[in-house]
A and B are shown apart, each in its own frame.
Chain A
Amino acid sequence: MTGGVGSQKLTDIANVFDVRLFRYDKKQRKHTFDIEVGIDHYTSASSDKIDLKANSSASHADTRIYPSLSWSVENEKKRTTFGVGISSSTEFDYQSFGGNISFAQKTRNRNGEFSAKLQAYLDRVKLVTPVELRNAPYGEENDHYATANRNTYAGSLSYSQIINQRFEVTLLADLVSQHGYLGLPFYRVYFADGSVHQENLPDSRLKVPLGVRANYFLGDRFIVRAYYRFYTDDWGLTSHTANIELPVKITPFFSISPFYRYYTQSAVKYFAPYQEHTVKDNYYTSNYDLSKFNSSFIGTGVRIAPPKGVLGMQHFNMLELRYGHYVKSINMNANIVSLNLRFK
């Protein structure tokens, strides 16, 4: 938010509650209802700089709430699954409403499955401008922010195929189109002449991610989970993601999963560091999320799912704990701890 310089310190606490219900109808079709509610709370040293003169402001922290509902029906005889879902996400300066529809078809021998999904997100961005760039004088409360729309439409295709009793491969392809206000209104960009501007990015973006997953059960205890994704878009960003995870089943109910993920991306056409943009640039950003960088994410997880329940509690079905250390080549690192508890 301070034009490509300054602190990137951020803390984020995220919780998701997921309730899943199953029911069979008279035609033996399996209906699945999923209710999910997510709550994130974050504090950010950069977000706190919307007003450079304030020691701290309300923008130093925010809470996001994101509920979703989905329903799917699986017809075992016809080997089909159909699903629909709706979602929303709300935080101080951003509101999103989403809907999706999906369809899956298994092959006759049930070793392959083709699936397709369409998603739409209709978002509204509150245009919270850096204080010194507003029309209202310094020190005045500005409760009436303008808003702008951001719409995202995504189509996803996947095909998974069982190769043999130990090996399964999945191919993934998406096409994502975005329109509207695609920048961040509170991001500053400092030009070479010392002037400060609000970030300005194009009002459309087309993204194409392509991926492949491969899972292999090696011997009796070892599993190899591999994933590769290629991404490109019309803003000039190209990226590669390679992820490998090696779960080891210590017992049938206890496993340890070390993992490593490598990511590299090129910069978008409109990125330049602090004080390198000029008035000749039609579009400009100094947001380092859109710069060239590499990252590594390494860690391990444990999974416990004993038949009599975790700690002997029958309804406490499964516990997963995961820690990862994330390092970005642009002088940023993070530690992430995740916990997943399942109750039946």
Chain B
Amino acid sequence: MSMDKRLFLVWPMAACLAVMALVSCTTVKEYQKNRLNDAEMVSGNRKVEKQN
């Protein structure tokens, strides 16, 4: 199977994993978010990636 065909399957697989993750979530209180609020966990590109 060519690399492009393999990669084309990644999108639906990634979507399925995302949906499975979404339905299995638990409520996290503000005081429990110390790891989620870590600077390395920021969602989105870092400022330093901007020019890459």
Binding site for B on A (CB under 8 A): 12, 14, 16, 18, 109-111, 160-171, 210, 212-215, 217, 223, 225, 228, 230, 240, 242, 247, 249, 255, 257, 264, 266, 294, 297, 301, 303, 305, 320-322, 324, 336, 338-340
| Whole-angstrom distance between the Cβ of A280 and the nearest chain B Cβ | 27
A305 to B10, Cβ gap below 8 A?
no
Q: How far is the CA of A189 from the CA of B33 in the complex (A)?
A: 56
A166 to B10, Cβ gap below 8 A?
no
Q: How far is the CA of A165 from the CA of B38 in the complex (A)?
A: 11
Contact with A212, one of B8, B14, B41, B50 (Cβ below 8 angstroms): B14
A230 to B25, Cβ gap below 8 A?
no
| Whole-angstrom distance between the Cβ of B24 and the nearest chain A Cβ | 7
Q: How far is the CA of A105 from the CA of B38 in the complex (A)?
A: 22
B43 to A305, Cβ gap below 8 A?
no
A171 to B26, Cβ gap below 8 A?
no
Contact with B28, one of A165, A215, A223, A297 (Cβ below 8 angstroms): A165
A322 to B48, Cβ gap below 8 A?
yes
User: What residue of chain A has the Cβ atom nearest to residue B12's Cβ?
Assistant: A230
A171 to B18, Cβ gap below 8 A?
yes
A223 to B10, Cβ gap below 8 A?
no
B46 to A320, Cβ gap below 8 A?
yes
B43 to A217, Cβ gap below 8 A?
no
Q: How far is the CA of A249 from the CA of B8 in the complex (A)?
A: 34
Contact with A163, one of B8, B25, B33, B52 (Cβ below 8 angstroms): B25
| Whole-angstrom distance between the Cβ of B3 and the nearest chain A Cβ | 7
A16, A165, A170, A294, most chain B CB atoms within 10 A: A165
> Binary interface profile of B, 1-30, with partner A (CB < 8 Å = 1, else 0)?
001100110110011011001101111101
Chain B residues near A257 (CB-CB < 8 A): 40
Q: A111-B28, A264-B4 are in contact. Are A170 and B22 (CB under 8 A)?
A: no
B41 to A223, Cβ gap below 8 A?
yes
Chain A residues near B17 (CB-CB < 8 A): 214
User: What residue of chain A has the Cβ atom nearest to residue B41's Cβ?
Assistant: A215
Chain B residues near A247 (CB-CB < 8 A): 40
B14 to A217, Cβ gap below 8 A?
no
Q: A171-B18, A214-B21 are in contact. Are A264 and B7 (CB under 8 A)?
A: yes
A228 to B11, Cβ gap below 8 A?
yes
Q: How far is the CA of A171 from the CA of B18 in the complex (A)?
A: 8
Q: A111-B28, A163-B22 are in contact. Are A168 and B41 (CB under 8 A)?
A: yes
B43 to A223, Cβ gap below 8 A?
no
B11 to A240, Cβ gap below 8 A?
yes
Contact with A170, one of B24, B33, B43 (Cβ below 8 angstroms): B43
Q: How far is the CA of A110 from the CA of B21 in the complex (A)?
A: 17
Chain B residues near A340 (CB-CB < 8 A): 46-48
| Whole-angstrom distance between the Cβ of B33 and the nearest chain A Cβ | 7
| Whole-angstrom distance between the Cβ of A26 and the nearest chain B Cβ | 24
Q: A240-B8, A340-B48 are in contact. Are A163 and B41 (CB under 8 A)?
A: no
B52 to A228, Cβ gap below 8 A?
no
A160 to B43, Cβ gap below 8 A?
yes
Could you list 6 examples of A-B contacts with CB < 8 Å? Answer: A111-B28, A165-B33, A225-B41, A240-B7, A242-B7, A340-B48
| Whole-angstrom distance between the Cβ of A228 and the nearest chain B Cβ | 5
| Whole-angstrom distance between the Cβ of A310 and the nearest chain B Cβ | 14
